Structure 1
Amino acid sequence: MEWRTTVMSRSSAGIVSVVALALTACDDSESSQAPDVNEPANQQAVEALIQKTMDNMVFVEGGSFEMGDFGPIDPKAEGLPYTTDTDNKPLHTVTLDSYSIAAYQVSYADYDVYSEATGREKINTEGFDGKYRAPDVPAGVDWYQARDYCQWLAKQTGFPFALPTEAQWEYAARSRGGFYPFATNDGLLEQGRNFPTLDEVRESTPANRISSPHTIGLYPPNPLGVYQMGLNGFEWVSDWYDDNYYQNSPEHNPKGPPSGEERVERGASYGERARAKLVVNRRSSLPDASAVLPNGEIMNGPYMNHTSRCAVNLDSPLQKPQQTQEIDQKNL
């Protein structure tokens, strides 16, 4: 039985209760099925999105790995660090519980369904960001929008959807902590083989520029089955940013500092060179995706560089709740 049927079963159960009450109150009079006022106008699209999301969650078995710039312990790097950055050092042991993570970034098509279902206006439809908009490229969002989307999925499914932690993101990008400098099928980066060509990037959005998001799922995923981690724009994670956090990060399930001014992002901006796309690079941004200009002024956006994917903090592969399974069996 598909997840879509699960959602329908829950709605149907509520409608049955309404009809039963109406019959009791009206004796032998005719009754009509009242619409569910809490059901969005695009319910069918919501059900399809939930089905797709659940189908594309990749289970990540927990374990321990050395988080950070692993160049000194990677034979391919000949004992040298991959970056000169200091915020991804020292290399430190992290142990994570199992979880699931989305195989794909949230697309504009996904986010539009969510926006309509929750009565929000569609994002980035005009101006600079509008030129970089297409249904099948990552939606450009600030941290709050990314968080809210995952929380909405949690309400729709009953599963603990949330933004991944920084440690969860890196562990998955490196296919459970392996020595993968880039989150590709083989850890290397080559245009036309596991990364888009310049023409493919240009063709992905109306902007027709090489500094644009590219189509989601265009090339094979990493060995874990996750696509384009850090290769198709920055990705928000849940952690506050601290450039010294690795020096005192707890080993088990680190969640970042308790507070801060900026949130961590992983990955690279569109059009950056290959080195910027290394999975060990740490970036940060104000949660509203604004930037402080050299003259002190605040610039809001552009948002198109900032993307997201969700995780589910359960230590087993996603399955229907037992109660929902029983409902479905009764309806067969």
Structure 2
Amino acid sequence: MLRTERLKVIGLTIMPIFLVACGGLGGADGDSSVSRIVENAIENQVFVEGGEFELGDVGRPDGSAYVTLVDHSRPAIEVRVDSYSISRYETTWGQMRVYYEATGRLSQYEASPFKQRYVTSPTDDRLSPYFRNKPARVPNYGEAEGYCDWLAQETGLPFALPTEAQWEYAARSRGREVAYATDSGEVQKDPYLRRPTEYVDPSIPPSGNTLIHSSLKFERRPVGSYPPNSLGLYDMTGNVAEWTQDWFQEDYYEQAPRDNPSGPEKPANPDRPEKTVRDWGGHGDSMGGAGTVFMRAGEPVSASGTGFRCVVNHPEPIN
């Protein structure tokens, strides 16, 4: 039984959205998996009311910068973002597998070294690094963008990767002056991955409020293992780093537009195009303020190992 809804996006009528009221689409297992992913993608969107905020490293109370290794996040600038929705969770191994299968993408990686590590089959084993509810790390930027585009096609909603302004605005709970996207705005690291690899025990329950350790270990916690920030968003500090849609430019804040900034129009280096990655705490980096919500840096679009979440660019709540 299908329910059809129409929404208006910035004054334009979009295609009908088909939500499953009961059962799968056509009853097939694959279709059922797709329908569940689509339903969850909509249900897990958190509405973020737009507004003005200071994008960038606003500095500690004593005036010193949070990020000291690079100055990419300075100067902080006053910008405005429109309302949008953003996924409550990072995209998981299980969700990515359904996308790869539904779009015929698996064949692209048959002979690829990425196949076993980044395009792998998820498992129901909670102790496995590939447990279906642990955050996926994709083989390149294109698959992150492709997943959000696929959701847009399946739903008729304007799913996309977030701009880095959208990402930071949400991570900072609508622009609050906090350094970490945690329940307290501060960080209490889970010591989970500090042990030698052979002694890492996935059965140990999470503790603290984020996982920022270690870039040398592949294991991560299931999404939503730690308390969310005040908007209800999980793992925007720690677990895995996240792609944004913006081309990376070191001094972008010095010339960014103040209204809905979305990055440079083209890569700074066409021979090595890079997109902006946020939450470097998710890569395991924390020295020099790299674990804060202000840290930004570029990754080549061909780089593997980064996660992501999608937004819906619609001015009203979609769920």
Give TM class, smaller chain.
Answer: 0.7 to 0.9
Aligned to 2:151: 153
Q: TM (normalized to structure 2)?
A: 0.76
Aligned to 1:86: 71
Rg larger for: 1
Provide the C-alpha distance between the structure 2 equivalents of 1:177 and 1:196, rounded to a whole number of angstroms: 30
Q: Deviations over 1:294-322 (max 9, x none)?
A: xxxxxxxxx33x00100010111004xxx
Q: Deviations over 1:84-124 (max 9, x none)?
A: 22111111001000000001011001111111212222875
Within a 5 Å distance, the mapping from 1:133-144 to structure 2 comes to: 133-141=130-138, 142-144=140-142
Structure 1 gaps, min length 5: 16-35, 290-302, 320-332
Shift of 1:270: 3.4
Flag the structure with higher helix content.
1
Structure 2 gaps, min length 5: 5-16, 121-127, 204-213, 268-272
For 1:48, what is the secondary structure of its paired residue?
A: helix
Change (3 A) 1:63 1:111: same
For 2:106, what is the secondary structure of its paired residue?
A: coil
Q: Note the aligned Cα RMSD (angstroms).
A: 3.2
Provide the C-alpha distance between the structure 2 equivalents of 1:158 and 1:237, rounded to a whole number of angstroms: 21
CA contact (8 A) 2:20 2:39 kept: no
For 2:19, what is the secondary structure of its paired residue?
A: helix
Residue among 10, 28, 50 paired with 1:62 = 50
Structure 1 position 126 matched with structure 2 position 124: no
For 2:243, what is the secondary structure of its paired residue?
A: strand
CA contact (8 A) 1:3 1:50 kept: no
For 1:277, what is the secondary structure of its paired residue?
A: coil
Provide the C-alpha distance between the structure 1 equivalents of 2:118 and 2:81, rounded to a whole number of angstroms: 40
Shift of 1:283: 1.4
Aligned to 2:292: 278
Residue among 214, 222, 231 paired with 1:215 = 222
Q: TM (normalized to structure 1)?
A: 0.73
Change (3 A) 1:235 1:211: same
Shift of 1:168: 0.2
CA contact (8 A) 1:183 1:229 kept: yes
Q: Tell me how many residue pairs correspond in the alignment.
A: 272
Identify the range of structure 1 (39-48 vs 171-180) with the bigger mean alpha-carbon deviation. Answer: 39-48
Q: Deviations over 1:9-56 (max 9, x none)?
A: 8x99xx9xxxxxxxxxxxxxxxxxxxx8xx986011111111111111
Residue among 279, 299, 310 paired with 1:267 = 279
Aligned to 1:241: 248
Change (3 A) 1:86 1:175: same
